[in-house]
Amino acid sequence: MCESTVYLVNDDGEKLVMENVEFIEAENGKLSLVDLFGEKKEIRGRVKSLSLVDHKILVEPLP
């Protein structure tokens, strides 16, 4: 499986946003996430780092 987990990261650490993410689209400072089951979530932020080996995506919030 190639799904990833998305976390929002700030000074306090990492906060889980969504698991089993299969698709991410970035547009105008927003990330649209879609998981394995078709659930959708939109967050304001930008990708800070992405680990393909660990299936982990860190997102930095935007003001």
pLDDT tens for 2-19 read 899 999 999 999 999 999
pLDDT tens for 19-47 read 999 999 999 999 999 999 999 999 999 99
Of 1, 54, 4, nearest to 33 (Cα)? 4
CB 23 within 8 A of CB 31: no
Q: Can you point out the beta strands (E) in the chain? A: 4-10, 13-27, 30-35, 40-51, 56-61
Q: How far apart are CA 41 and CA 34, in angstroms?
A: 7
Whether the pLDDT of residue 1 is over 70: the answer is no
- pTM here? 0.92
Residue 3: DSSP 8-state: -
What values do phi and psi take at 11, rounded to 5?
Answer: -60, -25
User: What residue segments make up the domains of the chain, in order of their start?
Assistant: 4-61
